[in-house]
Amino acid sequence: MSKDMLNDFDFSKDGAPAQPLPDGTYEPVLTKEDLDRCGRRWNMGTLTFNYQTQLAPTVLFAQIYALRKIYRGDPEGFKRSLENCMRYFNVTPPVAGLLLGATLAMEDKQHNAALEAVNDLKVGLMGSLSGIGDTILWTLIPTIMGSVAAYMAQNGNAIGVVLWVLLDIAIFIWKIGNWKIGYKFGTALITNLADKVAVFTEAMSILGLTVVGALIPSVVVVNLGLTFTMGEVSFNIQESVLDPIMLGLLPVALTALVYALMKKKVNFNFIILGIIVICWVCAAFGILA
């Protein structure tokens, strides 16, 4: 961190932390300028990526000053919020601000009490929001506008180049502005549905678990190459024995094993390396197809 950043995070200058209102919530402190700053930092940091938490470092980079303002005078609350930022997050970058702006609104109003709901909202909407972003902003619009721009450029029309540049600028501006849209959604969720937040949190938890559960058999692929042969009878153990018991049993078992290792704080890189080595060995002996 730079010296100026360290000064920004000097909690000794803040005095007492914000006091909750009679209903247990807090007076929101974030402004449009704070959300625009988040959007700009998100645009700058989307190259920050790893295979363990995906875009989580970028989430922290984008939100850190907004969270600092929310938890002014509360270093422990600020720390818990930053740790929460580093949980797995992967959404198509141009639409991520819609979700992250909503989570900021929830924390702005409820502080650490909203962290569980924030995680549930992220897990529940990451997949569906990415589906929309991938289809519209990553595929549909660039394909159509790129075709038009390329055709015009091939015919010597300079507007084709300008059109493509304008499209990139428009998406850049959208990536900044959609944080404010998301923040309004999160504020409405807290204010208009205050008496239903517990139900909403439970519903998002169920949705998140359903989404993750559905992803396992489609993303994690394990194919046994073992066959049982007796006389003229021969069948594949996975297709004829394991799949009829529960379709996707092996991917679920592998996912549960990896999850157990992570709970035991085993280094994620060691887990990946172990899976690669085991797959090599099992494939060499025909155990895995």
What are 165-186's pLDDT values in tens digits?
888 888 888 888 889 988 988 7
**Are residues 175 and 239 both part of a single domain?**
no
Mean residue pLDDT of the chain comes to 81
**Are residues 108 and 39 both part of a single domain?**
yes
DSSP character at residue 20: P
The residue among 209, 233, 266 that closes a domain is: 209
**Are residues 234 and 173 both part of a single domain?**
no
The residue among 209, 231, 248 that closes a domain is: 209
> Within a domain: residue 42?
yes
> Within a domain: residue 214?
no
Range with the largest mean pLDDT of 38-47, 196-205, 269-278: 269-278
Signed CA dihedral, 163, 167, 169, 174: sign only = positive
> Within a domain: residue 71?
yes
Please give the backbone phi and psi of residue 127, each rounded to the nearest 5 degrees, phi first: -70, -50
Q: H helices of the chain, where?
A: 3-8, 32-45, 56-70, 75-85, 93-110, 115-133, 141-154, 159-192, 197-219, 237, 243-245, 249-263, 268-284
Residue 47 or 102, more confident:
102
The residue among 146, 175, 209 that closes a domain is: 209
Residue 250 or 173, more confident:
173
**Are residues 183 and 239 both part of a single domain?**
no
Residue 288 has pLDDT above 70, yes or no: yes
**Are residues 195 and 226 both part of a single domain?**
no
**Are residues 226 and 202 both part of a single domain?**
no
Share of the chain above pLDDT 90, in %: 15
Is pTM beyond 0.75 here? no
**Are residues 188 and 110 both part of a single domain?**
yes
**Are residues 273 and 165 both part of a single domain?**
no
**Are residues 140 and 12 both part of a single domain?**
yes
pLDDT tens digits, one per residue of 3-61: 455 456 777 777 777 888 888 888 888 999 999 999 999 988 766 778 788 889 999 99
Instruction: Give me 55's structure tokens.
Output: 């875009």
pLDDT at 49: 77
**Are residues 92 and 132 both part of a single domain?**
yes
Of 9, 154, 150, which Cα lies nearest the Cα of 69?
Answer: 9
**Are residues 50 and 166 both part of a single domain?**
yes
> Within a domain: residue 129?
yes
What separation, in Å, do the N-terminal and C-terminal C-alpha atoms of the chain show?
A: 49
Q: How far apart are CA 40 and CA 34, in angstroms?
A: 10
Which residues, in sequence order, are CB contacts of 286 under 8 Å at separation 6+? 225, 226
The residue segments making up the domain with residue 61 are 3-209
Signed CA dihedral, 49, 64, 101, 203: sign only = positive
**Are residues 238 and 204 both part of a single domain?**
no
Half-sphere exposure of residue 2: CA atoms within 13 angstroms, side-chain side: 3
